[in-house]
Amino acid sequence: MRRRDFIKAVGVTAIAWPATARAQQPAKLPIIGFLGQTTLSAASEWVAAFTQRLRELGWIDGRTVVIEYRWAEGSSQRAAEIAAEFVRLKVNVIVTSGTPQVAAVKQATSIIPIVFATAGDPVGTGLVASLASPGGNITGLSVQAADLAGKRLEILREVIPRLSRVAIIGNVGNPFIVQELAEVRTAAGSLGLEVVMLEIRRKEDISSAFEELKGRADALYVCTDVLANANRIRINTLALGARLPTIHGTRDYVEAAGLMSYGANYPDLFRRAAGYVDKILRGAIPADIPIEQPTKFDLVINLVTAKALGLTIPAALLGRADEVIE
């Protein structure tokens, strides 16, 4: 069995712990409220990394801790409802990811500790006071890293040497994506690339964005967030239909027929988030736990998609890839 399959199996087994078994556990077990951005199937690898690290630290679901999983399915309203439910349940710590989800939980409670496994620019978006001293009841891991936008565009140019026009699609309802859109535009300008901005706020905007795009770009930069993630198959299908190579922030988009991704290793971030939870359950205060940034970055390439687009990926780029999907 491949390691990836094993990790998924561990995570799914943990999530599927029978409700009857939970009911038999001592009432004093600490409770972790896990608010997932999308669905279990979409986040199984991330959850598996989180639960595996918890087990290594002595926190076993149903024995030494109870994990209550809820899934927002890409809905901001649902995320707010789940946050309120966790407050009513009086969980000991809430774990989530994504700037809008963290904001929803922050609005629901200023008392229960909150750990985010991923968030874009938590200082710039007002989630915390600073990286070194978050303040309040929130801490976690930022996915913000210097020059990621520029590096993604450079990777696109390696595949398309004559790249001159790039489209950027992003959810302008997400404050971090608004920042990323500006960063991509600046990076594109420094590389001498023309930019076509495709702003979306809901899934219904995706088709019209591609209609607007027709023939105006050589490639597509997809900003990673919960809206794009929930619709990644649709985005990549439309991109393939338009013969547009795509670059993404995480590997799950490449699994869904995207061409390439370069960004933080999300399973590693969720694994590290478990360490934050461990510290809090043992008495640490979120305000005093510094926010950390990614240390592992992955380049993933889908050769099936490359073939469908009639592209040849340079050998040097394949040699740098952390994973090649064939």
- Give the residue extent of every domain in the chain: 3-144+265-295, 148-264+298-325
**pLDDT by residue (tens digit) across 266-275?**
999 999 999 9
Residue 68 has pLDDT above 90, yes or no: yes
CA distance 260 to 120: 20
Strands 297-302 and 260-264, how do they pair? antiparallel
Fold of 3-144+265-295: Rossmann fold (3.40.50)
| pLDDT, position 16 | 47
| Structure-token pair, residue 190 | 């420094």
Mean per-residue pLDDT, 243-260: 96
| pLDDT, position 22 | 46
Mean per-residue pLDDT, 46-64: 97
Residue 41 has pLDDT above 80, yes or no: yes
Could you confirm whether domain 148-264+298-325 is CATH 3.40.50.360?
no
| pLDDT, position 14 | 47
**pLDDT by residue (tens digit) across 312-321?**
999 999 999 9
3-state secondary structure the chain: CCHHHHHHHHHHHHHCCCHHHHHCCCCCCCEEEEEECCCHHHHHHHHHHHHHHHHHCCCCECCCEEEEEEECCCCHHHHHHHHHHHHHHCCCEEEECCHHHHHHHHHHCCCCCEEECCCCCCCCCCCCCCCCCCCCCEEEECCCCCCHHHHHHHHHHHHCCCCCEEEEEEECCCHHHHHHHHHHHHHHHHCCCEEEEEEECCCHHHHHHHHHHCCCCCEEEECCCHHHHHCHHHHHHHHHHCCCCEEECCHHHHHCCCCEEEEECHHHHHHHHHHHHHHHHCCCCHHHCCCECCCCEEEEEEHHHHHHCCCCCCHHHHHHCCEEEC
| pLDDT, position 216 | 94
Q: How many residues does the chain have?
A: 326
Report the range of poorest mean pLDDT among 15-24, 55-64, 77-86, 211-220: 15-24
Q: What is the average pLDDT score of the chain?
A: 91
